[in-house]
Amino acid sequence: MKTISWNKFVTWLSTIIVIVSGIVNINNGVDKIIARLSDVLGYFSKMLTWGNNTLTQCLRSINQFISEFIVYCSLFLLLPIAIVIAFIGIINYCTRKYRINIGTHGIPCTLLTMYHFKVANKNNKLLDSIHKDIYHHYYKIKENIRYQRLGSTEEVNHTIEEFLRVIHSSIYKTFKLDLTINIKRLSLDRLDNLCLVPFIHYRNVDERNKDNPRDFNYIYYIEVMEYERLIRYANRARNYKSDRGYEVNNIFTYLINQKKRYWMSNDLEKDMEAGLFYTSSDNYPEYYHSLAVFSITPPEKDVVPEGLLIFDTKKTGKFSEKECTNLFGYIAHLIYELLMEYNNYESKKK
């Protein structure tokens, strides 16, 4: 009964619409719209008259249409992303050989590293800007130490730490390279053993946000050796046993014994597997995956360094050797000059 009454209602409503359109004598465009409305009402009337099966089938058709529409829209939206990913993959494959050449001893740098150091840094304009920015702060600190404008050793140490912060900030802003910067000084213990002792460091952003950051108080034993091959130093370090609580790092020992200027790795895990890197300090791989170590020495060759300047990062593939040698070597030279002033400062205090 409900279906019949609804059908009658729709029929009467359609009749009234036609009569009103004739009375008002509206234009043909509106007549066509009203005619379409009458058709729609008639369609729903027939659909209800035919029964629930037809309605269910219709709803299924609508649901299928909506589902297909959503799928097509998703594919349409994902297509640009897929194209970008495919494009990056092609560039990554085509530039791999070049990135190996500019990386560290056969380990490629990333595409982003290649862009920062080779494209954005065209004609070394970014390196030059960092050099100028760093030198301004270096000169001011050097003058303050030289002319005893700092009241205590603690104040001098804090000033050098602030200089490391400036270095970190400048490199991070320019190359998006988040580094932990660490200075270790060469010293002799009570038994005249050659050691690297912690001096001043500045942590990267990730470490500063950790509740329990890595300890920097490790003392590294430097065994005097005549080996030339890096792998021999690594093998020796693995077999080292200390009753003094010292750690060993074959890169540190290698640079000091061979009077080498630097060593870099874009992937320490790969170098460990190749037998080129070993350190006994715990949790090191948890924090760092790439490493650059530079001797703190004057320009002259065959000079025992004052210590080592160490750059660590948790990311892999972050170094382009040529540009990083230029930048980090320059910083190591500035640190050497500051340490000379530091030594003079300490001697005058005594």
Mean pLDDT of the chain: 83
Model confidence at 2: pLDDT above 50: no
Alpha-carbon distance of 32 to 34, in angstroms, equals 5
Percent of the chain with pLDDT over 90: 49
Average pLDDT value for residue range 43-53: 53
Q: What is the pLDDT of residue 285?
A: 74
Residue type, 250: N
Cα angle for residues 145, 214, 266 (degrees, 5° grid): 90
Q: What is the pLDDT of residue 230?
A: 87
Give residue-wise pLDDT tens across range 306-334.
999 999 999 999 999 999 999 999 999 99
- Selected from 3.30.505.10, 3.30.450.40, 3.10.105.10, 3.30.9.10, the CATH number assigned to the domain covering 99-349 reads 3.30.450.40
For residue 116, what is the DSSP state?
I
Model confidence at 69: pLDDT above 50: yes
| The token pair that represents 238 in the structure block | 């693995």
| The token pair that represents 47 in the structure block | 């659909």
Nearest alpha carbon to residue 309 among 258, 256, 234, 244 = 256
Q: Does residue 253 contact residue 228 with C-beta atoms inside 8 Å?
A: no
Top-confidence residue, 48 or 107: 107
Q: What is the pLDDT of residue 342?
A: 92
Q: What is the pLDDT of residue 54?
A: 59
Q: What is the pLDDT of residue 32?
A: 57
Top-confidence residue, 328 or 229: 328
Q: How many residues belong to the chain?
A: 350
Nearest alpha carbon to residue 184 among 332, 41, 4 = 332
Q: Which residues contact 278 (CB under 8 A, 6 or more apart)?
A: 234, 237, 238, 248, 249, 250, 272
Q: Which of 72-76, 102-106, 264-268 has the lowest mean pLDDT?
A: 72-76
Average pLDDT value for residue range 156-181: 94
Percent of the chain with pLDDT over 70: 80
Q: Which of 38-42, 116-120, 258-262 has the lowest mean pLDDT?
A: 38-42
Top-confidence residue, 293 or 238: 293
Q: What is the pLDDT of residue 187?
A: 92
Q: What is the pLDDT of residue 40?
A: 53
Model confidence at 139: pLDDT above 90: yes
Sketch the domain layout of the chain as residue ranges.
2-50, 99-349
What separation in angstroms does the CA of 34 have from each of 31, 38, 270?
5, 6, 76
Model confidence at 132: pLDDT above 50: yes
What ranges in 205-320 are assigned the alpha helix state H? 205-208, 230-238, 250-258, 268-273, 284-287
